[in-house]
């Protein structure tokens, strides 16, 4: 009796017969997203699927990762290396990216850091210092930093026992922000391009 080949294996052999650059274009067509990939959403969906053992509505385009080990490695380089990953500088997102496999974290080349003033009502701002970050920062080719200054709290009267002034809020925000940016600058590759978006203005410069 003749053995049967797995359909994934057959497709992998056909795909590997074309030049690498063409394969990479195929991976880009399937895996590149127009918008940044929000790390917190990736983590939340993974947690849900892991708990319930199912993946309803899974995007069939990622099935290419099942074709073969070589195809998977090539496709992961595109998935993590050419998409933009978006992270808020809060405990939730920093914990979320730690759930990515070490090899995949080190594939990331484009990162968008969001530092919004949400600590008053949402998650506490977290320090970025962690063993997982130096390898990520060292491999980046582009870093987009978006920082939003604190807004004056003019709603919810009587929420605080003492008035929480804009100056106090801004001072705490700057005290939190400075060590994070210093840490990023310390570990970021000298080849990386940094984009700073602040007050609807964008400045691009070599790191």
User: Is 60 within 8 Å of 7 (Cβ atoms)?
Assistant: no
SS3 of 120, please?
Answer: coil
12 part of a folded domain:
no
Q: How far apart are the first and last CA of the chain?
A: 62
CA angle, residues 108, 104, 85, in degrees to nearest 5? 40
Counting residues of the chain whose pLDDT is more than 90, the rounded percentage is: 28
Q: Would you say residue 189 lies in a domain?
A: yes
Is residue 24 in a domain? no
Q: What is the pLDDT of the chain when averaged over all its residues?
A: 75
- The mean pLDDT of 26-32, rounded to a whole number, is 94
- What pTM value is reported for the model? 0.74
What's the rounded Cα separation, in Å, for the pair 93 and 74? 26
What is the pLDDT, as a whole number, of residue 138?
Answer: 93
Residue 16 lies in a domain: no
Is residue 96, in this structure, part of any structural domain at all?
yes
Domain that holds residue 50: 35-58+83-206
Q: Is residue 157 part of a domain?
A: yes
Q: Residue 108 has what pLDDT?
A: 95
Q: How many domains does the chain have?
A: 1
Q: Residue 4: which pLDDT band, with cuts at 50, 70 and 90?
A: low
In a domain? residue 15: no
Residues 6+ apart with CB under 8 A from 35: none
- The answer to whether residue 169 sits within a structural domain is yes
Q: Residues 32-64: pLDDT tens digits?
A: 999 998 887 665 545 444 443 444 445 667 888
């Amino acid at each position: 009796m003749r053995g049967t080949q797995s359909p994934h294996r057959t497709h992998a052999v056909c795909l590997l017969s074309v030049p690498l650059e063409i394969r990479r274009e195929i991976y880009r067509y399937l895996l590149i997203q127009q918008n940044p990939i929000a790390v917190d959403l990736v983590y939340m969906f993974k947690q849900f699927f892991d708990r319930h053992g199912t993946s309803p509505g899974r995007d069939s385009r990622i099935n290419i990762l099942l074709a073969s080990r070589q195809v998977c490695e090539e496709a992961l380089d595109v998935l993590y290396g050419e998409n933009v990953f978006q992270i808020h500088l809060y405990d939730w997102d920093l914990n979320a990216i730690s759930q990515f496999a070490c090899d995949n974290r080190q594939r990331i080349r484009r990162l968008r850091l969001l530092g919004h003033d949400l600590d008053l009502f949402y998650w506490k701002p977290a320090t970025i210092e962690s063993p997982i970050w130096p390898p990520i920062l060292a491999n980046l080719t582009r870093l987009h930093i978006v920082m939003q200054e604190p807004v004056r709290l003019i709603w919810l009267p009587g929420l605080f026992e003492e008035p929480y002034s804009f100056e106090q809020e801004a001072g705490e925000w700057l005290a939190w922000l400075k060590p994070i940016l210093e840490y990023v600058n310390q570990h970021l590759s000298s080849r990386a391009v940094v984009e700073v978006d602040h007050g609807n203005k964008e400045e691009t410069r070599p790191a």
